Structure 1
Amino acid sequence: MCAAVAGVAAVLPLAAYAEGFDTEHIFGFMIGSDVGEVGEREFQSQTTGRFAKDGGRYRALNQEMELELVPAPNFRVELGTSFGAYDINGVPGFDDRRQSAWQGVSVDFRYRFLGREAAPFGMTVALATRANRIDETTAAAVRSYGTELIVAFDREVIPNLAVAALNVSYEPEWTRMPRTGAAEQDATVGVAFGLMAKVKPDVLIGGEVRYLRKYDGIGLDELSGQALFVGPTAYFQLSERTRLTATWSVQAWGQRAGSNAALDLVNFERQQARLVYGLNF
């Protein structure tokens, strides 16, 4: 898919060329190295859907509202709160649930170490921490704390026309069940590649490929499962102050530990989608 996007980008008319990229928000499940200019303030609404597990009916929606601030050069802070909606029926190992509830809060720090204007590529380190009262997968009442560390790289592969990004991530999570006192730890590591190309000065299209591995234990003690997600992404600059990003991803390959199945629908979903709306104020 990414090769096809690059081929399309190479033959686009010169009219598609415009100013350089701002990669902060053009990707869906990934991030770029840009963090915004000092003094910028943005409101962002991010809706993520996850669909289909190993049997039964599984639908999960997460609605996150975020405030993004850039208080210093190359440094961005994001504060967020989220709500979850679930429709789970007949999924092995899951209780049947149909509910909506406030889920939790999050804070995200990003620092750009390298900018594309002065280095061969951009590089940013992002550290996000969240606290949830509803489990993101099962919708059970929990006390969950997670951290996601991402190192993001990007580079314009065709100046002013096509940009590629690489993300490397590590996401440990600690969960406790209030009713029983039981506790568990797990971690997800991933590598993702994305490519976006301008088809108009205010429209970009492309795709993302993500490879994820989930482990029991935050020290990557035992592999639980792995999955490869592939899908398209589109970015629209709606106006000078507003933007919209839409992405959809399907599990093209996966394997649960101890299983010969072609997909891992226990640790991951069959399909994932995300819609992000942003307003600069």
Structure 2
Amino acid sequence: MSFRATMLRVATVCFFTLLAAGARADDIDTEHMFGFMIGTDIGHVGEREFQTETTGRFSRNGGSYRAVTQEFEAEFVPARNVRVELGGAFVAHQIAGVTGLDDRRQLTWQGLSLDLRYRFLDRETAPFGLTFAVESHADRVDETTAARIRNFGTEFTLAFDRELVPSFLVAALNFIYQLEWTRFLGSRAAEQEATVGAAVGVMAQIRPGVFLGGEARYLRYYQGIGLNEFEAQALFIGPVAYLQLSERSRLTATWSVQAWGRPAGSVAALDLVNFERHQARLVFGVNF
């Protein structure tokens, strides 16, 4: 059986596990519980939050590669089942001796983002939670190469979650489709690309307000927004920790390692050309 078919079976089994699991408890909020995934909760009408999100990407093919993005985001819930988030980001790169990339050392403003979410099903009244998210961004610096660009991207996420053990164990499943349109200002070259994938996460509440668990993400990268030409695939696995610091503040930390990857036409065990070896994220949020 192929690796792609295996991952599809894993995602399918997880989905039906969510359907079959027990009842929901009210004291678990999955909105910010996961690291590189999302939960289906969106908050209460009138709720407002400020959030900082620090994402690091480390190690590519040869040399030294570090890229850290710092986002500042404001979230609010204007109506039932609707969440809106506005954000802006800075990005820092330190690239030296990486195959295919120019050496760079810079810190600059990256761009703006808009995240819209609509919850179709609430776990409190339905067999599982279901939320659809659309996140769009406009960037002036390429997140991988640090080159000057004009980039517009949109990521569509279909999120499911379910409490497997009430007030203790929660699982989530995400399906992802990300589109990117990019023009490089130096060479005037333009490209279109897409990434599709599935992610599974499980979190356990080891004490009130403290959750530990993990995520697994399988990603496929293509040239062309219509999945025209397959380029690479990778599997990321790593731990996640969520801490409710106070009634109004929270912290989420995660580290993901590329456990397997392969460029198209290669027999390599990792793909460090199209993906990083390590990805990490730290999110702090506060209600106001």
TM category (shorter chain) comes to over 0.9
What are the residue-to-residue correspondences of 1:61-100 with 2, within 5 Å?
A: 61-100=68-107
Is the counterpart of residue 56 in structure 1 residue 60 in structure 2? no
Unaligned runs of 5+ in 1: 1-17
Deviation at 1:268, TM superposition (A): 0.4
- State yes or no: 1:169 paired with 2:170: no
The letter of the residue matching 1:32 is: G
Question: Would the aligned equivalents of 1:59 and 1:86 in 2 still touch at CA under 8 Å?
Answer: yes
Q: Is the 8 A contact 1:204 1:236 kept in 2?
A: yes
Specify the alignment match of 1:266 in structure 2. 273
Letter in 2 for 1:50: R
Tell me the amino acid that sits aligned with residue 190 of structure 1. Answer: G
**C-alpha distance in 2, partners of 1:24/1:110?**
11
Counterpart Cα distance in 2 of 1:96 and 1:182? 20
Q: Distance in 1 between matches of 2:97 and 2:196?
A: 29
User: 1:1-281, aligned counterparts within 5 Å?
Assistant: 19-281=26-288
Contact 2:203 2:211 in 1 (8 A): yes
The answer on whether the counterparts of 1:167 and 1:193 sit within 8 Å (CA) in structure 2 is: yes
Q: TM-score, normalised by structure 1?
A: 0.93
CA distance in 2: counterparts of 1:50 and 1:135, whole angstroms: 13
Per-residue deviation, 1:253: 0.3
The answer to whether the Cα contact below 8 Å between 1:20 and 1:159 also exists between their aligned partners in 2 is no
Question: Within 2, Cα distance between the matches of 1:140 and 1:59?
Answer: 14
Contact 2:199 2:217 (8 Å CA) reproduced: yes
8 Å Cα contact 2:26-2:124 kept in structure 1: no
AA aligned to 2:82 is F
CA distance in 1, matches of 2:33, 2:80: 20
Offset, 1:181: 1.9
- Counterpart Cα distance in 2 of 1:230 and 1:43: 28
- CA contact 1:134–1:141 (8 Å) conserved in 2: yes
Shift of 1:180: 2.6
Contact in 1 for aligned 2:58/2:67 (Cα 8 Å): yes
Q: Deviation per CA, 1:56-111, whole angstroms, max 9, x where unpaired?
A: 10000000000001000000000000000000001111000000000000000000
Distance 1:24 1:36, change over 3 A: same
Q: How many angstroms does 1:19 deviate by?
A: 4.9
Quote the sequence identity (%). Answer: 66
Structure 2 distance, partners of 1:230, 1:182, is: 34
Write out per-residue CA displacement over residues 213-246 of structure 1, whole angstroms, 9 at most, x where no aligned residue.
0001100011110000000000000001100000
Structure 2 contact 121–128 (Cα < 8 Å) conserved:
yes
TM-score normalised by length of structure 2: 0.91
Q: Which amino acid aligns with 1:112?
A: R
Computed over aligned residues only, the root mean square deviation of the Cα atoms, in angstroms, reads 0.8
One-letter amino acid of the counterpart of residue 275, structure 1: L
Q: 4+ residue runs of structure 1 moved beyond 6 angstroms?
A: none
Moved more, 176-185 or 77-86: 176-185
Kept after mapping to 1: 8 A contact 2:140/2:148: yes
